[in-house]
Amino acid sequence: MLKSLMAATALTLSLTQSAVADSPMAFDVAEDHTRIFMASAPLHENGMPAHGNAFISQGYIYPEGTLDADTAGVNTDGSPAFPKLVLGTWTCDGYFVGEGGNATTGVWIISRQVFDFGDGDVIVTQGTEIVDIGVENLRPITGAAGSFAEWDSAVAQTLLGFNEHMAVNATFRIDAEEDDQASVIPGSSRIGAPARYERAEEQLEWASGSPAGPAVDAAAG
């Protein structure tokens, strides 16, 4: 019985370590211009979204280094430009603030972002987005599941630029805290990944007690 228990524990630990090691600690996102929807008001005189304008957008998650400022990660019809590299789906909803679409520096959006890597691996972040290209901005992790379930630190977002479809290209990295770094699995290439002993699908943790994000104007488009 003891040998069977030890063997089962070893197998569970091995599978968990493998899942964590395969979890990306950095990745790129290409916003899909065909799935950007904003409210019909308020708008600036030039038609750009103004403070308080609600929106929802989706895009594709790619491996780190796939995108740059000029790379269109999405085809004209909304399909991924690099289908074999797609890691998952990114969804973002929130509000434009300050100067909104006319902003040239600083915070222009307050949003929630959901990174869905499939197979139950999900990261949710909430916070500010800045319009400055190449400047890193931290967003707290407010929810996670699967291989990311025990993360409670932050994701750093850097805007790479706007592609030819005027959609956002951005890169992200999980910002590990000291406690997370101390529990990294030996031999793992994913720095900061916490040691996990439970089955990933049984782990679910929400740091935020209520949903966030706007009710998008049904007439927007």
Instruction: Kindly tell me if the per-residue pLDDT of 207 is higher than 50.
Output: no
Instruction: Kindly tell me if the per-residue pLDDT of 134 is higher than 60.
Output: yes
Instruction: Kindly tell me if the per-residue pLDDT of 124 is higher than 60.
Output: yes
Mean pLDDT for the stretch of residues 200-208? 38
Instruction: Kindly tell me if the per-residue pLDDT of 146 is higher than 50.
Output: yes
Instruction: Kindly tell me if the per-residue pLDDT of 216 is higher than 50.
Output: no
Cβ atoms 146, 119 nearer than 8 A: yes
Q: What is the pLDDT of residues 47-74, one digit of tens each?
A: 999 999 999 999 999 999 999 988 889 9
Residue 152 pLDDT grade (very low, low, confident, very high; cuts 50, 70, 90): confident
pLDDT of residue 8: 41
Residue 190 pLDDT grade (very low, low, confident, very high; cuts 50, 70, 90): very low
Q: What is the pLDDT of residues 36-46, one digit of tens each?
A: 999 999 999 99
Residue 22 pLDDT grade (very low, low, confident, very high; cuts 50, 70, 90): low
Instruction: Kindly tell me if the per-residue pLDDT of 221 is higher than 60.
Output: no
Instruction: Kindly tell me if the per-residue pLDDT of 157 is higher than 60.
Output: yes
Q: Burial of 209 by CB count in 10 Å (0-12 exposed, 13-18 middle, 19+ buried)?
A: exposed
For residue 101, give both structure tokens: 């679409």
Distances in whole angstroms, Cα of residue 151 to Cα of each of 113, 130, 214: 15, 23, 25
Residue 23 pLDDT grade (very low, low, confident, very high; cuts 50, 70, 90): low
Q: Which residue has the higher pLDDT, 58 or 206?
A: 58
Of the given ranges (47-51, 168-172, 213-217), which has the lowest mean pLDDT? 213-217
Spelled out in words, what is the top-level CATH class assigned to the domain 26-36+44-70+84-206? Answer: mainly beta
